[in-house]
Structure 1
Amino acid sequence: MYAILQVLKLRLQLILKDRMFLLLLLLFPFVFVFILNATQSFQKQPIIPVAVADEDRSDYSKLVIDRFATKEGIRVLRVGRDEAYRLTENYKVEAAFVIKEGFKDAIMNEDTDKTVEMLKNPGSLSYGILGEMLGSEVMRLSANTGAANKTEQLYQLYGLTPPTSGSLWERVWNYADSQWEPKPLMTIDYKEMSGNDVQAVNRVTNVSNAALTGIGMLLVFVLLFVTLHSRWLLEERDNGTLKRIMSAPGILWRFYVGNIAALGLLSLFLISVCAVLARVLFGASLVFHPLQYVLLGAYTYAVIGLGMFFSAIFKTSRQLETGAPLLALLTGFVGGCFWPFLPLTGLSETLALCTPQGWTLAGMKLLISNDYESMDVLRIVLILAGFGTVLFAYSFYRIRRQAVS
């Protein structure tokens, strides 16, 4: 262990003596967070646009839309079905709802199934909450109608005399509806992470696609950073250090692990500085969930393994410096880092999951949308850890053979 720590210390000293590297290491986090702020990644979208098409055109469908439109944080566009489809496909709205013909009759019969059709654009992360908001208004009408129908049935069953003034059905309906005011019978308590604190919020906010893109950019940069600074392996091989180390049994693997640990610490330092600057300068949490740190740690481990693999198969430092940026960009494209807000299906999804970026972004999407089970994230972490471990084992095997030869 002491030998590993000594190698770690030595490698950090050598790297940090490179003034250009040190400048880039400190400059990039500032450039990164300012670019994200310029694209409004850290700004909440005050209004979520939603399209609603009313094909029933009844007083019930109009009431649902009117009440839905008063919800805080959304802007309702009343359009036809075709326009709703067009707005959704062109990313002009987060989601669209079509209230089908026969909606009122279905409510009167207490049958709400398949009365509202929901559309969402591929990048929407708010459609679930929007569906709950509209659905609550539909259920409100259905509950009121059910109460009125049940009361009439009971009066008829027991032969009770209905009130002389006004319709019994309408009086019960209005009374049931009044129970939703001033507060509904069921509410959703929205909270958000702010640093290490959980704060209540009183509005629905849109998850910025630019924020996801920022995470994708960060993943690409970390891979690029790691692969470029994995050239130490080629340098030590070319100057004969690896061969000399082989003369002392058990030292090579300590030397290998110590250098990897140094690279891992620098990568995590880079990610941490980006997160701290985003918080200090813009009051935003780039990494707001504890499991995101676990994912980023596993991703760093995996890409360091990838960097060691590249160093083991490339013959010269020049080849590595030329090939590393291309490979980082290629795997970034395949993994979906440049359009992480779009869903991947079929062949594109299969190819993305062949890269550590694809798995990491899949986990990030689950955490950001708050639609996950802990086992889902753990499975991704284990896959990334397994990916890195296999590459570490292979690269060490190659290094040992090269040192012997």
Structure 2
Amino acid sequence: MISEKIKQLLKRPMLVIMIFFLPLIGTIISSSFLAKVQSDSKIPVALVDQDHSNMSKQVMDRLQKTTEIQFLSLNEEKARKELAKNKIDSIFMFPNGFQQEVEEGNYQGVIDLLTLPSSVATEAVREVVASEVTRLTTNVKAANEVRFLYKVYNIHAGPDLWKEAYRYTDNQWKPKPLMTIDYEAQGTKHTKQGNVQMTGYVPLWGFFTLLLCCITSDWMIKERRHLFKRMKTMQKGLYGYIRSVSAAYAVLYVLQALISFALFKWLYGVESYGVLLYMCIYVIVCVAFSTWLASESQRVGSYYMISVVMVTGLSIIGGSFFPVGELSATIEGISQWLPQHLLLYQHALPLTFIWKEIAVSIACICLCAFKIVWNVRSIK
């Protein structure tokens, strides 16, 4: 019965397009939109390089890699016009002789700052720029000290001594990973490094998948009046029919998860195949939840409205759109018990926490299945 139902569903072109393509399209468009909003929300600051030295270029390159502030490389004339129009927050100018001042160990007053009274982030940006200048001057002082000691003790030095000392000191500024895990496997000890990071497109995919599951589960309402009564007289009964149809939809959504994972791996470089497992578990939860919600409803119109409200609410609390910790610690605690949480930190959750998430998902599936059977019994 499951295979026959799958064949019937695949003969409906609009349904196939909805299941296999709408979540992907929605995820890609939404992730691009959120990325643009995040980029536009950064504070714009102009960098003007008048020195055109190696050190000034080095500082500008490092600043432009900062994710919290949008550093723009402009010439002085354009930067002043943008500042006058209030399109940028401030201007940091690297004047002629910047590298010479740094090599002499000077770090105060080596960069000119132009700003307006309405600027909101001058102090914060100044700290970021000052840290880079301090990094340069520290490297230079260390390299000069090494070269001086070599001369004092008459140690033979190669032509690249100063550069090697500078490079070595500069590498000391690179931070270590925020998290390291020591584990032993087959008698050997390894150190695995990683960082806690949310993969935004997978939670967005979870929102669209859950929404689409609810939309396609309207068959419970449409077939209840005329088909369910006849199914009660069949050999496998109404429960077998509902179970088979739900399983058919679950198979299609699992296939959709496989396709989505392959596309995400191609576009965004997903590393762990464990993400695929979480996605498959999640779609089964979505099918069970949407089938239960449809079994509680009597009218298609009201069901669609309730579905949109519930899916949006669960996705917001579950953290599909933004970190809920920014709203409330209580909401963040609740989100850890929702199936969406498994899609948020796929690479960072410890094994014990993953098993807890999987157990919560299985519990949701069992509760929904029990309630569906309970609701079906009342159908006359």
TM-score with structure 1 setting the length: 0.52
The equivalent position to 2:250 in structure 1, one of 264, 281, 290, is: 264
Q: Indicate conservation of the 8 Å contact 2:27/2:205, yes or no.
A: no
- The residue type equivalent to 1:312 in the other structure is S
Q: Name the counterpart of 1:321.
A: 304
Structure 1 residues 287 and 222: alpha-carbon distance in aligned structure 2, compared to 1, 3 A threshold: farther
Question: Residue 378 of structure 2 aligns to a residue in which SS?
Answer: helix
Match of 1:233 in 2: 220
Q: Is the 8 Å Cα contact of residues 325 and 332 (structure 2) preserved in structure 1?
A: no
The aligned counterpart of 1:392 is 369
Structure-1 separation of matches of 2:66 and 2:221: 58
Deviation at 1:242, TM superposition (A): 4.7
2:342 to 355, 360, 363: 360
The code of the aligned residue for 2:9 comes to I
- 1:12 to 2:10 alignment: no
Q: One-letter code of the match for 1:231?
A: D
TM superposition shift of 1:377? 1.6
- The residue number in structure 2 matching 1:308 is 291
Report the residue type matching 1:322 in the other structure.
M
Query: Alignment partner of 1:237: what SS?
Result: coil
Listed one character per residue, the Cα deviations across residues 373-402 of structure 1 (whole Å, up to 9, x for unaligned) are: 222222211211111111111212221x12
Aligned residues of 1:306 and 1:391 also touching (Cα < 8 A): yes
Q: Percent identity?
A: 12
Aligned counterparts of 1:341 and 1:284: Cα–Cα separation in 2: 26
Which structure 1 segments of 5+ residues have no match? 1-5, 50-66, 78-91, 93-133, 145-162, 168-173, 191-205
Q: 1:25 to 1:313 in 2, by over 3 A?
A: closer
Partner deviation per Cα, 1:271-326 (whole Å, 9 max, x = no partner): 333333445xxx42464322211211221122222112212211133332332222
Residue in structure 1 matched with residue 360 of structure 2 by the alignment = 383
| 3-state DSSP of counterpart to 2:223 | helix
TM-fit CA distance, 1:345: 4.0
**Structure-1 separation of matches of 2:338 and 2:272:** 23
Q: Residue 31 in 1 paired to residue 18 in 2?
A: no
CA displacement, residues 130-167 of structure 1 (integer Å, 9 cap, x when unaligned): xxxx9xx9xxx9xx9xxxxxxxxxxxxxxxxxx9x959
CA distance in 2, matches of 1:322, 1:286: 36
Question: Distance in 2 between the 1:391 and 1:230 partners?
Answer: 14
Alignment of 1:2-401 (within 5 A): 6=1, 8-28=2-22, 31-32=25-26, 34-35=28-29, 38-39=32-33, 74-75=65-66, 166=152, 181=168, 212=200, 214-242=201-229, 244-245=231-232, 248=235, 251-279=237-265, 283-285=266-268, 287-340=270-323, 343=326, 345-353=328-336, 355-357=338-340, 359-361=341-343, 364=344, 366-367=345-346, 370-399=347-376, 401=377
User: How far off is 1:263 after superposition?
Assistant: 1.3
Distance, in Å, in 2 between the alignment partners of 1:375 and 1:207 is 16
CA distance 1:68–1:397, change in 2 (3 Å)? farther
Secondary structure in structure 1 of the residue aligned to 2:372: helix
Distance 1:301 1:278, change over 3 A: closer
Distance 1:341 1:277, change over 3 A: farther
The answer (yes or no) to whether the contact 2:292–2:371 under 8 Å persists in 1 is yes
Q: How far, CA to CA, are the matches of 2:206 and 2:24 in structure 1? A: 16
CA offset at residue 239 of structure 1?
1.0
Task: Output the TM-score relative to the length of structure 2.
Answer: 0.55
TM-superposed CA distance for 1:218, in Å, is 1.2
SS in 2 for 1:294: helix
**Counterpart contact for 1:287–1:293, Cα < 8 Å:** no
Q: Is the 8 A contact 2:257 2:276 kept in 1?
A: no
Which residue matches 1:60?
A: none
Which residue does the alignment assign to 1:402?
A: 378
Query: Could you say if the C-alpha distance between residues 26 and 356 of structure 1 is closer, same or farther in structure 2, counting changes exceeding 3 Å?
Result: closer
Q: Distance in 2 between matches of 1:293 and 1:226?
A: 18
Which structure is richer in relative contact order (CA contacts within 8 A, separation 6 or more)? 1
Amino acid at match of 1:402: S
Name the aligned partner's letter for residue 280 of structure 2.
G
Distance in 2 of aligned mates of 1:68 and 1:374: 41
SS in 2 for 1:307: helix
Q: Which amino acid aligns with 1:290?
A: Y
Retained in 1: the 8 A contact 2:261–2:276? no
Q: Taking structure 1 as reference, are residues 402 and 347 closer, same or farther at Cα in structure 2, changes over 3 Å only? A: same
Distance in 1, Cα, partners of 2:310 & 2:204:
15
Q: Cα RMSD between the aligned structures?
A: 5.2
Once the 2 structures are TM-superposed, how far is the Cα of residue 223 of structure 1 from its aligned partner? 0.9
- The answer on whether the counterparts of 1:69 and 1:75 sit within 8 Å (CA) in structure 2 is no
In the aligned structure 2, how far is the partner of 1:37 from the partner of 1:385?
29
